[in-house]
């Protein structure tokens, strides 16, 4: 047993030293590459001096509901399981970025998101189609208004990395909260808001900046319009939104 523990410890130390060596090699390589760049090699060398610039955004998302079950769920004899599942979507948007300093930028990135979120149910009794396992889809068309602060690294040749943090306000244009014939629906409210955090990379080309980015966005508002008369909706107390978004920004 002691021999195995020593072996595991040695492997962990070796792995750590290997990662450390890779990081040192990469940093040396980045510095060497940067030192080899001349002003003639840099694309858009005056871009950092711009007070503001604009761009467009296209993205895909993995979205799901974050749910809290209602106390009535334990008393309900018609639904055994009610769980949200991951679903995909895509987004289109514009961006406007203003320079604050060499390190910080302020970005406004309004987007139109098309999202289809799902909830899986296991029923005690079969429904009209004779099924005991059903999935209810909630389609949303969201207009999102995020404001973000970007913290960016030094530019290494035609490459840069940045992190971001911000806050968003969402309007669901396809909200079904006021739907009258809603026996089979999960009602979702129109408005949401919450924080965003992410990381991205700038690749400078001759006439534009290509910026892949990934961010996590969580809603703080309870978007569930609960109706105790609806069996698919009454089992939930609170529902919040949660998304992971991968975006491509094309900026000038």
The predicted-structure confidence for 167-223, as pLDDT tens digits, reads as follows: 999 999 998 866 665 566 788 999 999 999 999 999 999 999 999 999 999 999 999
**Residue-wise pLDDT tens digits, 39-77:** 558 999 999 999 999 999 999 999 999 999 888 777 766
12 torsion bin: left (phi>0), alpha (psi -120 to 50), beta (else): alpha
Find out whether 145 and 172 touch, Cβ atoms under 8 Å.
no
Q: Check: pTM over 0.85? Answer yes or no.
A: no
**How many Å apart are CA 146 and CA 97, to the nearest integer?**
12
Which CATH architecture is the domain 46-251 placed in?
A: Beta Barrel (2.40)
Q: From 58, 77, 88, select the one nearest 213 (Cα to Cα).
A: 58
pLDDT beyond 60 at 18: no
What does the alpha-carbon distance between residue 65 and residue 232 come to, in Å, rounded to a whole number? 14
């Amino acid at each position: 047993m002691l021999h195995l523990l020593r072996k595991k410890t040695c492997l962990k130390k070796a792995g750590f030293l290997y990662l450390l060596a890779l990081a040192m090699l990469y940093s040396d390589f980045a510095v060497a590459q940067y030192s080899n760049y001349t002003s003639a090699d840099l694309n858009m060398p005056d871009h950092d001096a711009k007070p503001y610039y604009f761009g467009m955004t296209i993205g895909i998302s993995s979205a799901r509901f974050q749910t809290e079950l209602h106390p009535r769920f334990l008393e309900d004899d018609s639904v055994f399981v009610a769980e949200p599942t991951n679903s995909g979507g895509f987004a289109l948007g514009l961006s406007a970025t203003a320079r604050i300093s060499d390190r910080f930028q302020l970005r406004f990135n309004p987007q139109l998101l098309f999202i289809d979120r799902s909830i899986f149910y296991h029923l005690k009794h079969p429904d009209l189609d004779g099924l005991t396992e059903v999935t209810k889809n909630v389609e949303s068309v969201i207009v999102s208004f995020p404001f973000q602060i970007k913290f960016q690294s030094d530019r290494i040749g035609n490459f840069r990395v940045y992190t971001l943090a911000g806050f968003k306000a969402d309007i669901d244009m396809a909200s079904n909260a006021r739907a009258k014939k809603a026996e089979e629906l999960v009602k979702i409210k129109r408005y949401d808001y919450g924080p965003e955090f992410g990381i991205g990379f700038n690749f400078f080309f001759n006439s534009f900046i290509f910026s892949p980015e990934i961010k996590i966005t969580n809603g703080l508002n309870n978007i569930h319009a609960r109706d105790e008369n609806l069996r698919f909706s009454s089992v939930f107390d609170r529902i919040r939104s949660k998304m992971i978004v991968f975006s491509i920004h094309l900026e000038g």
